[in-house]
Amino acid sequence: MTVADTFFKQFEILADAPNAVPRLRELILQLAVRGKLVSQDPNDEPASVLLEKIRKEKGDLVKSKVVSKAKEVLNIDESELFYDIPYNWEWVRLAEVGHDWGQKKPDREFTYIDVSGINKEQGIVSDEVNVLEASQAPSRARKLVKLGTVIYATVRPYLLNIAIISKEFSPEPIVSTAFAVIHPFSGVYNKYLYYYLRSQPFIDFVASQMKGMAYPAINDGQLYQGLVPLPPLNEQKRIVEKVDKLMEWCDRLEKQQQQRRETCINLNRIALTQLTTAKTTDEFSDRWQKVHDNFDLLYSLPENVSQLRQTILQLAVMGKLVKQDPNDETASILLARTREYLAKLKDGKIKRNQDLPTISQDDAFFDLPKGWQWARFPELGEFGRGKSKHRPRNDPKLYEGGCYPLVQTGDVARANRIIETYSSLYNEVGLAQSRIWKKGTLLITIAANIADTAVLGFDACIPDSVVGFVPAPDIRIEIFAYFMKIAKEYLEKLAPSTAQKNINLAILEKLLIPIPPFNEQKRIVAKVEEMMRLCDGLEAKLKDAETNRQKLLESGIRQVLSQI
């Protein structure tokens, strides 16, 4: 048993490593085109004899004017060879094993095949190709193909838009000039050629020849000079048969992975729904214990951990994460004290809003626990939009020699709870048309990134695309941050469908926020932090496991390749 055979047998252990199956597909092709996937048969007619037959066939086709005389093929220098090949193989130029069928301007109805008509995963032309009249022909509809022809997209070739014309088309097919056309001579199996063109050695060759930045490409002449390792015809067929079987195995692995993934996601969704629908904290505790007992099953995927984080926040703001204490001072008393606090602020910092509608239970997102209250941002602290009055906003005179941090929507979106970056620095001129918000302010984006939320880690200015909120005493800012994470999807739906989504301040001013008693706020924050640390541990464990699987996979691949 070869190293490769051993690797394939043990591969399913490593199949969950990142990109494991795509890497396996690459390895299969590497082995195939190096003559290491199937055994050589001394009874096979060697490729040297096959090559002589191909040259005679090529001469006959040129003589009978079926194909045009090709440009001279360069001799192969030993320094060009990619690797050693078996004794009965031959290195040849691509131009030596195939030919094109010429070009013509469409003069009648035709089947037009462009790059979008390729199913590159299956290596075929899709059924969704256009039949056009000659008058509708694009200028690039010129190249002729026939059954068995291989077509290779030479624009952005790293996308591997390669296919075999595997069926007859009526009316006649014409392909885009974005393709190189390679119709194999007798004795060259088109599917072997297809697999080789997708293998890493040829990909590397093409990458070395590409030109251009936005749309890198290789011209046909350069492509046809690429080297091809040519096995005996019978071995080509054995290689293709083996590759086909291994690729089907890869397909099954990917399907199994996808099914396991979907099952895991569905189980997690069900488990988390049971948590959010628990009627009492005791019922929640029982259901949470079941989730905890099945962590290894439910949280083998990073996205499930992300969903768990979101559910923890949802439970927190619904009052289901910790038990209520009847001895806690109620939120209604807390809010009365907050109103008195806000009324005493006479320095004009807080804009008074007399137009907030009365809170109706019909507007509430969910039922609140006893002792909680719904309230709105303006009723709970200083709440206002950032300032950036000057236009244009990027005027250098606002920034030259600046020292006052300006936090933009992107800084908020990228923050992990605490904002630690800023986009630029205002100078005194910039500050004069803005204002400073203090460290600890909750920032909420209302343009571009809707309802992204984080807490300022330093004093900073903010533009009018960001809203600042400073809660009154005895109101934990974390409660608002938790709730905004849950309300984000709701607020995004309220944004008009424009090129850059945004919501206005009035929408946030009317948003109902669940307020727990102050002591319960502290218990909630402590519990959330505890459970977030648990999620951090789960994610770290997953990352370590993924890294280890990746190392084992790459080590196995290197070991296989070192033997060839």
Report the 10 Å Cβ neighbour count for 436.
Answer: 13
Name the DSSP class of 404.
E
CB under 8 Å to 438, separation ≥6 — which residues?
A: 456, 459, 470
Q: At what angle do helices 233-276 and 190-197 cross, to 10 degrees?
A: 50
- Strand order through the sheet with 162-164: 98-99, 179-184, 150-153, 162-164, 124-125, 118-119
Q: What is the pLDDT of residue 349?
A: 54
CB under 8 Å to 349, separation ≥6 — which residues?
A: 382
Q: What is the pLDDT of residue 488?
A: 87
Q: What is the mean pLDDT of each run of 10 residues along the chain (564 residues)?
A: 69 78 91 92 95 91 83 85 93 94 94 92 88 94 96 95 94 95 95 96 94 90 95 96 94 91 94 89 86 88 94 93 93 92 68 62 82 93 91 92 95 93 94 95 90 95 94 92 89 70 85 94 95 93 89 83 73
Q: What is the pLDDT of residue 7?
A: 74
The rounded distance, in Å, linking the Cα atoms of 159 and 218 is 13
Q: What is the pLDDT of residue 186?
A: 93
Q: What is the pLDDT of residue 357?
A: 67
The rounded distance, in Å, linking the Cα atoms of 172 and 194 is 22
The rounded distance, in Å, linking the Cα atoms of 157 and 120 is 12
Domain 331-516 has CATH 3.90.220.20: yes
Q: 24 and 250 in contact (C-beta within 8 Å)?
A: yes
CA 445, 447, 449, 450 torsion-angle sign:
positive
In degrees, to the nearest 5, what angle opens at C-alpha 266 toward C-alphas 260 and 268?
A: 105
Q: What is the pLDDT of residue 262?
A: 94
- The half-sphere exposure of 476 on its side-chain side, counting CA atoms within 13 A, is 22
Q: What is the Cα Rg of the chain in Å?
A: 33
Q: CATH 3.90.220.20 occupies which residues in the chain? A: 45-231, 331-516
What ranges in 164-209 are assigned the alpha helix state H?
190-197, 200-209
The rounded distance, in Å, linking the Cα atoms of 323 and 321 is 7
Q: Which CATH number fits domain 45-231: 3.40.50.970, 3.30.1020.10, 3.90.220.20, 1.10.150.120?
A: 3.90.220.20
Enter the tokens of residue 34.
Answer: 């190096």
The rounded distance, in Å, linking the Cα atoms of 294 and 212 is 53
CA 417 to chain centre: 23
Per DSSP (E only), the strands in 197-244 are: 227-230
The rounded distance, in Å, linking the Cα atoms of 224 and 220 is 6
Q: What is the pLDDT of residues 288-333, one digit of tens each?
A: 899 888 888 899 999 999 999 999 999 999 999 999 999 999 999 9
Enter the tokens of residue 120.
Answer: 């590159």
The rounded distance, in Å, linking the Cα atoms of 469 and 380 is 9
